[in-house]
Amino acid sequence: MKNPIDFEQCAQRLKILSDPNRLQLIGLLFNGESTVTKLATESGQGVSMASHHLVAMLNADILIRRKDGRFVYYALHPGLLTCNGGAARRQLNIGCCMVKFDPEPPVQIGDGARLAGQDGHVGL
């Protein structure tokens, strides 16, 4: 029997993902685990702010972390990643829905409308 959807947990994860800085960090983590310092540098966020966002996503079970000496590495929670024939996709299964991260973000046009990518999908 299929597990029932935990809508409460899904709503909490969607709330956490509603911050553009957090979405940017998740996009970077699709490249593999990373330290706070590296993620802060790559995202242009301060170390303190990046750390704050990473801990919020860790507490929502979106991320996992491991310690190696004085370094802490963050990664996407493997239970949320989806695969296609063994190859990981750039999307998260957060329980009630899938969140897809397109390699190329949609293009903004003058009135704020968004254009879809080559595959016709408008994504984050």
Note whether 63 and 29 are within 8 A (CB).
yes
Question: How far is residue 3 from each of residues 26, 63, 84, 96, 116, measured CA to CA in Å?
Answer: 26, 21, 21, 11, 33
Could you give the 3-state DSSP secondary structure of residue 46? coil
Question: How far out from the chain centre does Cα 93 lie?
Answer: 10
Q: Summarize pLDDT for 27-74 with one digit per residue, the tens.
A: 999 999 999 999 999 999 999 999 999 999 999 999 999 999 999 999
In the CATH scheme, what is the code of domain 7-115?
A: 1.10.10.10
Residue 7 has pLDDT above 50, yes or no: yes
